[in-house]
Amino acid sequence: MSLRYLLPALALAVGVPAIADAADPIRIGVIAENSAISGIAIPNAAMLAADEINAHGGVDGRMIEIVAYDDHNSAADAVRAFQRAANQDKVHAVIATYTSEVALALQPWAGRLKIPTITPGAASDEISKRIHGDYEHLKYNFHGYLTSGFLAQSVCDAAKDLLTGSKLKMKTAVIMSEDAAWTGPLDAGYMTCLPKAGLTVLDHIRMSPDTTDFTPIFNGIESKKPDVIVTGISHVGVQPTVQWANQQVPIPMFGISSQATSSTFWKDTNGATEGVVLQVAAVDTVASTPTTMSFAAAYTKKYGITPAYSGYTAYDDVFIIADAVRRAGGTDPDKMVSALEATDYVGTVGRVQFFGKDDPFTHALKYGTDFVSGLVVQWQDGKVVAVWPPAVATGTLRFPGFVKVAN
């Protein structure tokens, strides 16, 4: 059950004094990459969630206190922030990062310092696999976003409906992903599921995150004559999108582009993102759950842009941690872990449950129509339009004139 629906019960009755221990705040450390679209969304959303919980009296009278740290896109800085959060600032839990390399670097520290830790945006399958392989030490880690393998499956599920099973009748694809920890299992998933969706993979490109000129890459892709480019882009997003449009690459881009999940991406690319199709956890225009659009509206009102994908999950994670504290009867870390393992929460991205100790993807989010599956949107005229699944679609695929498709 969602904590949000329990808020009145969590608050102390007006005029009833709290015992001393109950009055202590529940401190949640938030470690993120503040210079990135998907990074700054994490503390922004966490603070909104804390404000909402506190406005209803907190958790058993205890207020939520967000202690935020900027890791400057550095795993070393993130580890130092985590150590400070645990040893100096005495946090009870941590929400950290959208970068898989950083999440993996923090895992052993969550175990050593016994701090329940959730990543709202990192995707590498290795995160939950490590928890499974060394449960007793790493059980304090939870994977609060879909694994790369599940992301690949979501993209392929959409591709089957939108690209091969529709009037487009696409048959071939080239995979274009940044070289990062999260895209290894993503690309492996693509290689397996795209053929099952009806797309023959003609090439598999892994580009350096430091790439600035994508002309040779796009020229090489064009020479293969694929029907679609299937992307895995997070830290590199603006430049390839701008060059795709400026060079009028006649092949649609479809897949994952994390930076494109926030409305600021339209401005950052000067509209070059028109026609780009991407998988998202949630979007401000679709009521995936009763709280999706209200959260997005509150975020947009406060920060002037829509939340990136990691904002939705970071917001949910604060509620998930707060509910775990309530059910654990306090902030004992081992009791919190047990409570987190029993999470059954309807948040902004769907119904959240974690895989158990015996599953190969221990503490990863469950994927599927009954849990979290995401949706696919396309940038059209400066806005994102939901195009899949059909139950939530508010429009159909529409590409710029330079893109050659049979629609």
Distance between CA atoms of residues 75 and 86, nearest Å? 16
Q: CB–CB of 237/207 below 8 Å?
A: no
Task: Write out the H or E segment, with its range, that includes residue 178.
Answer: strand 172-178
pLDDT at 99 over 90: yes
Residue 236: predicted pLDDT: 77
Q: How confident is the model at residue 406 (pLDDT cuts 50, 70, 90)?
A: low
Domain 3-146+287-352 has CATH 3.40.50.2300: yes
- Which residues in 249-373 belong to E strands, given as ranges? 253-257, 277-280, 345-346, 351-352
List Cβ neighbours of 15 (8 Å cut-off, separation of 6 or more).
none
pLDDT of residue 237: 64
> Do 182 and 124 form a contact (C-beta atoms < 8 A)?
yes
Q: Which pLDDT band, with edges at 50, 70 and 90, does 8 fall under?
A: very low
For 49-98, write each residue's pLDDT tens digit.
999 999 999 999 999 999 999 999 999 999 999 999 999 999 999 999 99
What are the structure tokens assigned to 321, written together?
Answer: 């941690």
- Convert the pLDDT of each residue in 213-228 to its tens digit: 999 999 999 999 999 9
What is the rounded distance in angstroms from the CA atom of residue 141 to the CA atom of residue 129? 11
Sheet holding 228-233, edge to edge: 200-207, 172-178, 228-233, 253-257, 277-280, 375-380, 383-388
With residues binned 3-state (H G I as helix, E B as strand, rest as coil), the percentages for the chain, rounded to 5, are 40, 20, 40
* pLDDT tier for residue 9 given thresholds of 50, 70 and 90: very low
Residues 341-368: tens digit of each pLDDT: 999 999 999 999 999 999 999 999 999 9
CATH code, 149-280+374-388: 3.40.50.2300
Banded pLDDT at 20 (limits 50, 70, 90): very low
- Per cent of the chain over pLDDT 70 is 94
Cβ neighbours of residue 117 closer than 8 Å, sequence gap 6 or more = 82, 93, 94, 95, 96, 106, 107, 110, 140, 141, 142
pTM of the model: 0.92
pLDDT digits over 225-246, tens only? 999 999 999 887 689 999 999 9
Task: Pinpoint the residues of the chain covered by CATH 3.40.50.2300.
Answer: 3-146+287-352, 149-280+374-388
